[in-house]
A and B are shown apart, each in its own frame.
Chain A
Amino acid sequence: MSKLEVKNLNMHYGDFHVLQSVNMPIAQHEITAMIGPSGCGKSTLLRCFNRMNDLIESAKIQGEILLDEKNILVKETNLIKLRKKVGMVFQRPNPFPLSIYENVSYGPKIHGEGKKRVLLEIVQKALEDVLLWDELKDRLKDSALSLSLEQQQRLTIARLLAVQPEVLLMDEPCSALDPISTQRVEELMFQLKEKYTIVIVTHNMQQAARVSDRTGYMLLGRLVEFDETQKIFTNPKHKETEDYVTGRFG
């Protein structure tokens, strides 16, 4: 069963038709990668899954996105519940200028958890899940901005895990990281997919090939091809896809 299902999704920024009839399933406990040249609409698509595009005045969306078989694009959707379920990791690590503890506990506090003991447990669990606990357990009061970029990006993932989401949206989560940090974050993603459903946007084709189970190739707002990652990279059906994954594009 698909965790998410995109059905005939069209989106405009004003008059600009940024997503054109996109259809794709996103399977549970898999990593789905979205690739494609700059400006093709990958981030825009990702931001449809947690309705972040609602913040943009000119954005208009038609079609359906089913989350557990319920359309989230309808007006009645409770955005707070939706975003609790479908969380997002941004391109640049963006911790709040607060302590490590306050960053991770931000979500649970917002959602009404007030007990110190419970919060600490949540923080510990989340930091353990991103393999930061041992490094940071003695400096939870330090500013999150004192961490390295990789630690910061892990921290933002922990901040997200603390609200117990089901789907993780990651928009180029490694683009600000060096190769070794990138590799470690990829390993982390591998572990996370056992519990979560992950959609990742990446410019790095090796990364898509390494981590993802399925890959979608987008071009100018269209989803050109969507298939198992292996097929996309070894035996694509479309000439455009082949040109892109073999680096002959442009």
Chain B
Amino acid sequence: MLKLHQPLLVDKAVKVLFWALTFFTLIILFFILGFLLKKGLPVVSWEFLTQPIRDMGKSGGIFPSIIGTIYLTLLGVVLATPLGVGTAIYLVEYTRESRMTRAIRFGADCLAGIPSIIFGMFGFVFFVITLKMGWSLISGALTIAFMVLPTIIRTAEEALKSVPQGYREVSFSLGSGKWQTVLHAVLPRALPGILTGVVLSIGRCVGETAAVIFTAGSALGLPLSIFDSTRTLSVHFYILAREGISMENAYGTAVVLVLSILLINIFAYTLMNRYISKNS
């Protein structure tokens, strides 16, 4: 007779099932990566990385796009980080849980759910047209700063909340003021968590296409000021592929893009792991 209750058997079956699911996920991941690498890696060379874009991308390299991507990302994150971390500090340290804090948090969550192309539209209408910044690094950076703001706020909030209350109490009991306590007792403990959020945001900025194409434009040259237009790697890839300019170079660009994002994420997870093991 088959018993319904056979915990050992059930355990085994469930384990196999989950193993299969994990395996499937990994297969997909490696398939995509493998495909990209196979198509794109032969294109990637020192010349490809350091030459200007020629013939709309048919030949030459992707150097201006690499630089444009770095500038745009750094500028966006530098704008978003103080704003986001400041908001998180205010929410966690300076207010008590209330209708207002919940409203702010809800707002941040909604913002996180908005598709990036909508941010692109907003950035286009507001920064490019209304504020007359044109297609430029600064328009793009402001737009992606708004886009990653919710991520930075929420990760910083969690990082601040995970700092044991005891540290704040000790600091107050030694006669510190609020800001001194936040600065010396809380922030150093929350820093790795906050940084993790920032690094994840960097990853998102690097890969962003829709929000950027409307705001930073698609100029081929090297951007020389924040008011210059630039085409980021993902935008370059999009244009090459969509307009059928050069599939080869599109794959090459994709490989550079994906590998950089991979590296950034690995960096973020190492940071996070160090943080977790240090706090437990």
Contacts and interface: CB of A to CB of B under 8 A. Distances in A.
Contacts of A159: 170, 174
| Chain B interface main SS type | helix
A90 B170 contact: yes
Nearest to B166: A94
A90 B172 contact: no
B225 interface: no
B167 A81 contact: no
A96 B167 CA distance: 7
A80 B177 contact: yes
Interface residues of B, number: 18
Given A57-B96, A110-B184, A83 B170 contact: no
Contacts of A180: none
B174 A110 contact: yes
20 contacts: A52-B173, A55-B168, A80-B176, A81-B175, A82-B175, A83-B173, A83-B175, A87-B173, A90-B166, A90-B169, A94-B167, A94-B170, A96-B170, A110-B175, A110-B180, A110-B184, A111-B175, A160-B173, A160-B174, A163-B175
Contacts of B176: 80, 110
| Chain A interface main SS type | helix
A41 B134 CA distance: 65
A218 B216 CA distance: 70
Nearest to B165: A55
A82 B173 CA distance: 9
Interface string B73-92: 00000000000000000000
On chain A, which size bracket covers the interface?
A: 20 to 34
A110 B263 CA distance: 40
Contacts of A39: none
Given A52-B172, A87-B173, A110-B184, 7 more contacts: A80-B177, A90-B170, A94-B170, A106-B171, A110-B171, A159-B174, A160-B174
Interface in B204-249: none
B66 interface: no
B189 interface: yes
Contacts of A160: 173-174
Given A57-B96, A96-B185, A107 B166 contact: no
